[in-house]
Amino acid sequence: MPSSVVAEMIYNEHTETLRIVFVSGMVYDYQKVPLHIFQALRNASSKGTYLNQEIKNNYEFVKVGE
């Protein structure tokens, strides 16, 4: 399902890194995100809401670019 906030999600199982590319162009890497969390995000009806409630305050992140 398309998102008005998230343009792209890329998950690396080996490093458990979740890269989020926002519609605004900002890019963040969230670290040590379990596979089941990524799968839940991918299946969420509202990606932005799930990201805000379950990921942003629970996992360390690095801003990669804009």
pLDDT at 60: 97
Q: pLDDT digit string (tens) for 27-45?
A: 999 999 999 999 999 999 9
51 burial type by CB count under 10 A (0-12 exposed, 13-18 middle, 19+ buried): buried
- H or E element in which residue 62 lies: strand 61-65
Considering only residues 4 and 46, tell me which one the structure prediction assigns the higher pLDDT: 46
Could you tell me the pTM of the whole model?
0.90
Sequence-distant (≥ 6) Cβ neighbours of residue 30 within 8 angstroms: 17, 18, 19, 20, 55, 59, 60, 61
Contacts of 17 (CB under 8 A, 6+ apart): 11, 29, 30, 31, 33
Query: What's the whole-number average pLDDT of the chain?
Result: 94
What residue spans define the domains of the chain? 6-65
pLDDT confidence of 4, banded at 50, 70, 90?
A: confident
